[in-house]
Structure 1
Amino acid sequence: MMKEDTIEIVGFHAHIYFDTASRDAAARVREGLARFEVQLGRWHDKPIGPHPQAMYQVAFLPPQFGNVVPWLMLHREGLDILVHPETGDDLADHTLHSLWLGEKLELNVEVLRPRTASTSG
């Protein structure tokens, strides 16, 4: 069995990106998401972590994927959305294992790289 076979997805995040002009659309998408078993995160009006623009996070468990993601595909109102699993490897989850609805934005992946104890290099 390969290491990849033992990776478990414990949950998913969808990051709904918006700007000043699309904030109302993001609010409508957020209202629609309330019908699902999800946790709606705070509004972040400025880039945070690896995210290049304002966004809010939607967290949901694997059984909800088939409800939430198809709904987002049809109701994203032109917004760019990153969907990624939670496996414990933040860098791979946001890059190798992710999917995008709309445009693929350039993430600041440096903040996701594991920190090493040594300061070599």
Structure 2
Amino acid sequence: MTSDGTAPFHAHIYHEAHQRPASDALHARLTAMMESGEARDLLMVGNLREGPVGPHPLPQFEIHFLQRALPQILALIEASGLRALVHPLTDDDLADHTTLAQWIGGGPLDLDLSVMDPPGENQGVPRFGRRDF
């Protein structure tokens, strides 16, 4: 990771059915912050997904941001009351989602680790900031 705060990060923000209004509200807030420039290091707010996608077992949306935005992003997620997986993007997809990951708003979910890229072949790095699942 870079020491200048520009290392790429992701957060996967999950919701259960009863939390959908909170998820919609956070999604709208993050989108507005990104579009207005209030959160200039927030690079992408992905689509709300209604079911499991990739390794993620619950509905979620993904955001891409730079490391220097981590305090601001963590505070927004914590205030929402939602559960999130926050991780850097390295060349090791498995480590990103396990040993390098931070869980907010609850314990870890059981991710489907079988779909992770092999170390050194992380497909997330080239797509950082461009699209979600």
TM-score range, shorter chain: 0.7 to 0.9
Unpaired runs of 5+ residues, structure 2, are: 34-38, 120-133
Number of the residue aligned with 1:29: 26
Structure 1 residue 94 and structure 2 residue 97: aligned?
yes
Question: Which residue type is aligned with residue 9 of structure 2?
Answer: F
* SS class of match (2:45): strand
> What amino acid sits opposite 2:93 in the alignment?
D
What CA distance in whole angstroms lies between the structure 1 residues aligned with 2:61 and 2:76?
17
SS at match of 1:43: coil
Structure 2 match to 1:109: 113
Tell me if the contact between 2:92 and 2:117 (Cα under 8 Å) persists in the aligned partners: no
Q: Deviations over 1:68-119 (max 9, x none)?
A: 112322x12x31111011012110000000000122211111111529xxxx
Q: What is the aligned-residue RMSD (CA, Å)?
A: 1.8
Structure 2 length normalisation: TM-score?
0.72
- In the other structure, the counterpart of 2:45 is 40
Select the structure of larger CA radius of gyration. 1
Residue correspondences, number? 107
Alignment of 1:50-69 (within 5 A): 50-69=55-74
Calculate the TM-score normalised by the size of structure 1.
Answer: 0.79
Gaps of 5+ in 1: 1-6, 116-121
Asked if the contact 2:52/2:58 (under 8 Å) is kept, the reply is yes
1: distance between equivalents of 2:73 and 2:82?
15
